[in-house]
Structure 1
Amino acid sequence: MAPRPSDSGSTSDAAFNPTLLSGFTIAVIGHRRRHHLADLLARHGARIVSVQGVRAVQQPDTDALRRTTTTCLDTPIDDVVLSSAAGVRAWFRAAPDPDRLLATLRSARLLAADARTADALRAGGLHHAHSTAAATTDELYRYLLTHRPGGRRIAAQLDTPEHAEHCQSLRLHGADVVEIPTYVTESPNDVVGVRRVLELMSRRQLDAVAWLDPVAAAHILRFATDHGRLPAVVAQLGAHIPAVCRGPLAAAVLRLHDVEPATPPMPFDQETAALLARSVLDRAVRVTVGGRALEVRGHAVLLDGRLYPVQQGPVEVLRALATEPGKLLSSADIRRLVPGLTDVDDHAIEMTVSRLRRAVPDLELVHTVIKRGYRLAV
């Protein structure tokens, strides 16, 4: 007999470092206004921009639900993943042949996300449901993915578009998965938030973007297309702003626009957070200035372990100077290298350098070579 899900334990969050991601700004795009991944990253010190790219509404398309249920019943099922009590009840109501559905479920291993979902199954006459200690749908999929799902037929009741990423990962591991969606998607209420994140992307004012599901990703990029922002967004994603997709379906959406994203080995919060952390930390610029360790982050400077917040323009100038320590950059060079300073005059650049010096007062960061430009004081 296969081990019960509860035997697998749960994956706890790694030990937290509240300053690990300080100075970085990460956008998290999904179907929720605030995703657990955003909280996970924030606890490590990141500044978060949360965007609801699409809304998941628990009002299933009854005709689609009946069709997928019929497909589900065509062949015996090994495992059934049940994400919510409301989803279970919606599935039972929409079933074209409730007795046949119950018979199929009785012969399968039932994996319930939490106690309420298990109670809904018992109310329908199904008394043998397993769950994980963490009581989350993610942990059910983690259990299946780590216990050789190849060759098994799995029915998955989906509450959100995010769960489709889990199903696709099971398929990539050899499982035959039938999706039972008990939700529909609608456009987000917060159009201002969508506009804002696109503006931040196009101006290179984010250090990474997390794309959590394919529907939200497609909607954001379609909105960018409709409002003439897609070229500017695509020019920054991947090349200058790491794009991290939780799973292969969202990644495929970005590839349609010639953006090559990174994906974690498994489509879960911990793995996605770890990949985001590596992505932003790997892009930080590290140099030694006056015998002291300097690290340039998205909107801050780390000097011998002490964090100094720095405005966008000054930190981008410092990044350009630190990329080639000691090299003299003219005002024209800085205009070419720093997107936000493309159209400013030499005086504005001089003022930006002055703000940089004030932001990090413990060190003479930048030397001015009169009438020639600026260089890092290595």
Structure 2
Amino acid sequence: MAALGQALAGVTALVTADRRADDLGAALERRGARVLHTPAMTIIPTTEDEQVVERTRELIARPPDVVVVTTAIGLRAWVEAADAAGLGARLVEVLAGARVLVRGPKAQGAAQAVGLTPDWIAESETTAEITEMLLDDGVRGRRVAVQHHGAGADGLDEAVAAAGAEVVAVEVYRWGPPPDQQAVDDGVRQVAAGQVDVVLFTSAPAAEAWMRRAEEIGVVDQVVGAERVTYAAVGPTTAGPLRRRGIEPLVPDRSRLGALVRAVVHHVEEHRETAVTTVAGQLHVRSSVALLEDRVLPLSPSALAVLRLLVDRGGAVVTREEVLEVLPGSSQDPHTAEVAVGRLRTALEDKRVVQTVVKRGYRLALAEPTTAPAPPSQIGQS
């Protein structure tokens, strides 16, 4: 296994998050990744809105029977806003007297951190599971406080109110447009072109917005079919917009940023084991770089394109015409192919790796598989 600083060497990672993007990016960079940050949406705090404070006073005056916590960031921001208004301790006391329902482990951790003991957790991390649980349990005549996440109530408020509950909605933040739409579009196109190795998502609304943008600019088919791109989602809810479009992302066992990074590292390490083994050592080609025995090769785009073609053929011969097809431009001069292969050999520092097959083309020189010696009883027998 590669050392911590080399685990993601040569990997280009696209981070689509707004919140805690610096933490996620830093964790990836410490492991050697090149990070592109193009947040698909912006979190707009509403904690200074008078409505949040008013809802807090309303719940303190008439405590709820049930409180629904949908996000960790939302609960923390709510308590902070209450603190600023001198109501923090009283709010926590009132919420602690209610039945506390939380949407997933992150919300559970935040509830515990402010002094609440969750009575029930939605393992699927979906609002739909919370809604189903409340309706099955019966809510008629109950007062239900719902801390909304940025995408809204997802139908929970309406369903619970229709079942006879009194609903008090608290919106502590909401999702807004991306800070740089052009950067998002550029990132989507890079993914579609196979110029990114890993795309990371940490919220369902951002994942939905990112995929919808791929549809709007006409590259969703390339995004979904990008064989060299790995998609990673922090949890099953975040994975939903990807799965609905036919992408099966990496999802860690725990919905935490650290677990997400470890899942990506583990995935990359697994693929290192399946890299091509040449006469000069293990070779792995990524979106924008190639590594030979953990050494990042100084390849031009043309040389990288030729190397990727040779690796894809797995040791079979590649003709000069096929080399010309993957090179930028439209040159049909065989000398252009020879120059590109020559530069590739220079970068590899071992001219044995790319062999010339007279009158046919080029091939990647793979290491011969090792075979165990025959048992003594079989030596000399035919």
Q: Shorter-chain-normalised TM-score: which range?
A: 0.5 to 0.7
Question: Is it true that 1:355 corresponds to 2:343 in the alignment?
Answer: yes
Gaps of 5+ in 2: 135-144, 150-171, 367-382
Contact map agreement 1:165 1:267 (CA 8 A) in 2: no
Could you give the per-residue CA deviations for residues 250-282 of structure 1, whole angstroms, max 9, x where no partner exists?
A: 211012222222211111112111111233333
Rate the CA distance shift 1:353–1:219 in 2: closer, same or farther, 3 A.
Answer: same
Could you tell me how far apart the structure 2 residues matched to 1:276 and 1:196 are? 23
Contact map agreement 1:57 1:183 (CA 8 A) in 2: yes
Rate the CA distance shift 1:323–1:73 in 2: closer, same or farther, 3 A.
Answer: farther
Letter in 2 for 1:274: R
Rate the CA distance shift 1:344–1:32 in 2: closer, same or farther, 3 A.
Answer: farther
Rate the CA distance shift 1:314–1:140 in 2: closer, same or farther, 3 A.
Answer: farther
Letter in 1 for 2:315: G
Question: Is it true that 1:364 corresponds to 2:352 in the alignment?
Answer: yes
- How does 1:296-315 map onto structure 2 within 5 Å? 296-315=285-304
CA shift, 1:79, in A, is: 8.7
Match of 1:250 in 2: 238
Question: Is it true that 1:280 corresponds to 2:247 in the alignment?
Answer: no
Could you give the per-residue CA deviations for residues 281-337 of structure 1, whole angstroms, max 9, x where no partner exists?
A: 33345233335343434433333443324344433432332345431122455578x
2:221 to 217, 228, 231: 231
Could you tell me how far apart the structure 1 residues matched to 2:318 and 2:204 are? 42
2:232 alignment partner, SS class = strand
Could you tell me how far apart the structure 2 residues matched to 1:352 and 1:33 are? 42
- Mean alpha-carbon deviation: is it higher for 365-374 or for 35-44? 365-374
1:252 alignment partner, SS class = helix
Match of 1:289 in 2: 278
Rate the CA distance shift 1:242–1:263 in 2: closer, same or farther, 3 A.
Answer: same
Contact map agreement 1:245 1:263 (CA 8 A) in 2: yes
Please say which structure displays the higher CA radius of gyration.
2
CA shift, 1:165, in A, is: 10
2:203 to 213, 232, 244: 213
Could you give the per-residue CA deviations for residues 310-369 of structure 1, whole angstroms, max 9, x where no partner exists?
A: 344433432332345431122455578x6x769764645444323322222244321223
Rate the CA distance shift 1:142–1:307 in 2: closer, same or farther, 3 A.
Answer: farther
Q: Work out the percentage of aligned pairs sharing the same amino acid.
A: 27
Match of 1:124 in 2: none
Contact map agreement 2:70 2:147 (CA 8 A) in 1: no
Contact map agreement 1:169 1:267 (CA 8 A) in 2: no
Letter in 2 for 1:88: V
Gaps of 5+ in 1: 1-14, 111-136, 155-163
Contact map agreement 1:331 1:346 (CA 8 A) in 2: no
CA shift, 1:104, in A, is: 2.5
- Mean alpha-carbon deviation: is it higher for 84-93 or for 197-206? 84-93
Rate the CA distance shift 1:331–1:235 in 2: closer, same or farther, 3 A.
Answer: farther
CA shift, 1:197, in A, is: 0.8
Could you tell me how far apart the structure 2 residues matched to 1:215 and 1:50 are? 17
1:18 alignment partner, SS class = helix
RMSD (CA atoms):
4.5
Match of 1:41 in 2: 28
- How does 1:1-378 map onto structure 2 within 5 Å? 17-32=4-19, 34-59=21-46, 62=51, 74-76=64-66, 83=73, 86-88=77-79, 90=81, 104-107=94-97, 141=109, 152-153=119-120, 167-168=125-126, 178-181=146-149, 182-236=172-226, 239-284=227-272, 286-290=275-279, 292-331=281-320, 333=322, 345=332, 347=334, 348-378=336-366
Contact map agreement 1:200 1:206 (CA 8 A) in 2: yes
Could you give the per-residue CA deviations for residues 28-76 of structure 1, whole angstroms, max 9, x where no partner exists?
A: 111248331111011000111111110001026849x959x97x96534
Rate the CA distance shift 1:231–1:326 in 2: closer, same or farther, 3 A.
Answer: closer
1:53 alignment partner, SS class = coil
Could you give the per-residue CA deviations for residues 211-230 of structure 1, whole angstroms, max 9, x where no partner exists?
A: 11111111122222222222
Could you tell me how far apart the structure 1 residues matched to 2:286 and 2:253 are? 26
Could you tell me how far apart the structure 2 residues matched to 1:299 and 1:42 are? 16
Could you tell me how far apart the structure 1 residues matched to 2:108 and 2:200 are? 22
Letter in 1 for 2:22: H
- Mean alpha-carbon deviation: is it higher for 99-108 or for 265-274? 99-108
Letter in 2 for 1:107: G
Could you tell me how far apart the structure 2 residues matched to 1:368 and 1:56 are? 56
Could you give the per-residue CA deviations for residues 162-210 of structure 1, whole angstroms, max 9, x where no partner exists?
A: xx999549969x9989544410111112122212211211110111111
2:248 alignment partner, SS class = coil
Q: Would you say how many aligned residue pairs link Structure 1 and Structure 2? A: 314
Letter in 1 for 2:109: Y
Contact map agreement 2:234 2:252 (CA 8 A) in 1: yes
Could you tell me how far apart the structure 2 residues matched to 1:90 and 1:291 are? 61
Letter in 1 for 2:243: R
Rate the CA distance shift 1:30–1:369 in 2: closer, same or farther, 3 A.
Answer: same
